[in-house]
Every structure is written in structure tokens, then in C-alpha cells.
Homo-oligomer: A and B are copies of this chain.
């Protein structure tokens, strides 16, 4: 359907675009962050929406595939095209401006290349808070975060990336620009195109700027680690916590002892929260209004939960340093996982009440395939588990090549059987196109295909991502 960019095409583009638009196609653009796949392409980094528009219009006319590129941190290959005609990789890295600040409206208008940590910092400078937060925030860019509807640790309270966005500027495949950078909180004039582009993974057009929603800074912040007897107890604890503190619960993360065992085995070095590590722990983060003490609120919660046999032990942060130490444990687990080397990693979600049974049934299902270590952790408050499967001690992931497909299928089948998702927050990219086909309702797939064909009739936008190349 499309052709590789010829030298003549590239010469045309060079002539039409300002100096500095073309970049060397270094490894960082063409390698998956965990080194698992390799892409290909010519790299352009336009500095303006107008330049993006000219590039897309040209590529649309000449049927050249375009792969949008943000921070390159995606874990499902959405930013890498390794098969088919060599594409143009369009990096937003030069479009990093904060275009406008409206602190009294809690709004920032930023370009798609702005790095998440910079946006967070700008919000803090304005006395506000930008609640999207995830491990790769030092390199992930707003355009990619929105295009993948990124999640992270604060979804429970603030929602995912979609919920942080009021408006978008988008360049369509034919180069026309949708000026949708509204700062309105309410606008019921027509179809919700914003939410269609958010999560479309660059397959319908390129997000070039966004009006982002900030929130007031939580006045009183606190955290606790609590040891729970079971995942069901953790869920019941969440119910009690939300009953008492409502939206004050900012994050509710579950951690299995396997994660702490991995940390002890391979690092990074962290201080375990309990003298004796329990099987299951939760990390609770609270952000409370003026007049409420996080310590007292967490102590009261602890007392009620102990009385209800939902909590065995607990540590309440006495300082911001304590809280940071709790979060360091949680945030070091993915690195420990990487050092151990997973056989298969899964970013699944199930309905909240199904979490305990999913966990209970996962281990025996996998035991039928072989002997593994399971590290199950993640955003319990959202029903989103990172359910990752590892080699037994003394072996490594390469020893399990034969079992890997069966492991992945077993975990995904199980999540699906509970009405779950096989990609809760990482997206589809190219890695999960087959999963999407396997597990999606046919009517959903048919509508997605119809929308893709309607909005990108030549199929130039990130071909092969989300939907198989037609």
C-alpha cells in the first residue's frame, strides 16, 4: 500500500523543510527500550506544527509510511516499524514548548514533545500538580503519553492520561490541522475526537500539542505500607479506605513478597519495610485536604483494618523521606525484574472483584506448563496487575523459549475469561496486534477498521500498529 521513501522523496522533503529537520537514525530511534526488537526508518524532527503538516501531506501524497516517535519508552513496539517499506520516523523531540500557562484555570498548553517530568515541574512551579506519573517520566513525552493513554500510579485518583487532557492539536494524515486545543471543561458540540486520538497510538494522525489539566496540589500528603493476609483483604482494605477518605486515596499498589525477594537477590538495594516480609503488602498513598492529618487518617484506617482482620502489620510514613523510601521499593521492582529477566511479562487488568480469583488461579494454570516464579504487583486500585513470570533460581529466560508462548497464552486467556484486558496500560503497538484480534469483540474490531480507513484512507499512519496492515 505504501512505498519506501526514495532518495528523490527525501530530497523533496529536505528542500521543503528547514535545516536541522533530518536527524541521524541512531539506535535510540530504532531500538525497543528492552532491546527486544529493531526498527528501521529515516528520522525527521520537525520543529513546528506547520512542518509536521507539510511532512504528512507529502507522505500521504506519496504513500510513505510515517511512524510517530515520542520518548521511545513504549513497551509494545508502537514506535518501531521493523517490517514493510521503510518509514519516516517523525520525532516530536524539537516541539517541547510550553505554549501557554493558565494557572487560575489549572491548565497548561504544551507541545507534544514536552517531557513529562518537565511538565510536572512546570505545574509545581505554578503551585499546581500534574498528576500523570510513571516510571519513564524522565524521558516519556506528552504526545506519546497521550497517544498511548498512559497509566501509572495515580490513575486511581486522577484517571489515566486521557483524563488529564482537555484539548488537542492534531495533524491529520493529509496534513490538515485540527485546532482542537480547547481549555473548556464542558463542550458538547459533536463527536469526541479528542478521546479517539488519545490511545490511537499514532494510527490516525499526529498529536502536536495538548491542553492539559492540572489539579490543586494535595495539601497534606502521607503514605503507609500495610501487610495484608491476602489479595481479597487488600481489596477490602481499599473499600474501607475509600469509604473513609474517598478521592483522598491517591494510589493503592499491591506488592508480592517475590518482588522483595528479587530486590534482595539482584538489587537495587532497598530497605525492606517489614522485619519479616509478608506474602502480600499494599502501598497506600494519600493526599488530603487542609484540616486532615495523613498520619491520623492512616492510623485510624489501620486500626479499623486490624480489627477487621484485613491487615497484619503496618508502617506509616513519619516523613517525606519515609514515603520516598516506600515508593523506592515499589519503583525498584521493575528494575529487579529486568535483572532477573522475565520469561513473559503481562500488563493485564480484570474487574476489581475478580482480582483475588485471578491471582488464585494463575499459579496452578502456570504450574501445568512448568516451574516458574511469579511476581505479581501493580495498581490494585485499578484492577491492573503486572503479572510477570520468571525462571526458577539458577536458570534464565533463555532456558524457557519453548514455554514462553504457552505462558503468555495462559495468562491472557485467564484474564480474558474474567472479562479482563490483555493490555491495561501499555497499549497494543505491534506486539499485541494478534492479542487484540484474538480477544476483541468482532464488532469492536470492525468499527476500529472502519474508523482507521475513514480517517487515514491511505494507511500511512503508523502502519501495522494497533491494526494489522490492510
Contact = CB atoms under 8 A, between A and B. Distances in A.
Interface stretch (A321-329, A368-376, A418-426): A418-426
B450 A455 contact: yes
A102 interface: yes
Nearest to A177: B443
A439 B179 contact: no
A299 to B, nearest CB: 11
A107 interface: yes
Contacts of A289: 244-246, 248, 288-289, 292, 297
Contact of A104 (B178, B185, B353, B466): B353
Given A297-B291, A441-B180, A448 B190 contact: yes
A247 B155 CA distance: 15
Interface in A75-129: 102, 104-107
A309 interface: no
Query: Chain B CB within 10 Å — which of A191, A245, A349, A353 has the most?
Result: A191
A381 B104 CA distance: 11
Contact of A178 (B296, B297, B349, B444): B444
Contacts of A26: none
Copies of this chain? 2
A8 interface: no
14 contacts: A102-B353, A104-B239, A107-B351, A176-B446, A184-B350, A184-B424, A185-B382, A186-B424, A187-B423, A189-B439, A190-B444, A191-B447, A219-B243, A288-B289
Interface of A: 102, 104-107, 148-149, 151, 155-156, 160, 162-163, 170, 172, 176-180, 182-193, 195-196, 198-200, 204, 215-219, 235-236, 239, 242-248, 287-292, 296-297, 300, 349-353, 379, 381-384, 419-428, 432, 435-436, 439-448, 450-451, 453-455, 466
Given A148-B188, A191-B200, A192-B192, 7 more contacts: A104-B353, A170-B443, A185-B384, A186-B349, A216-B242, A216-B243, A217-B243
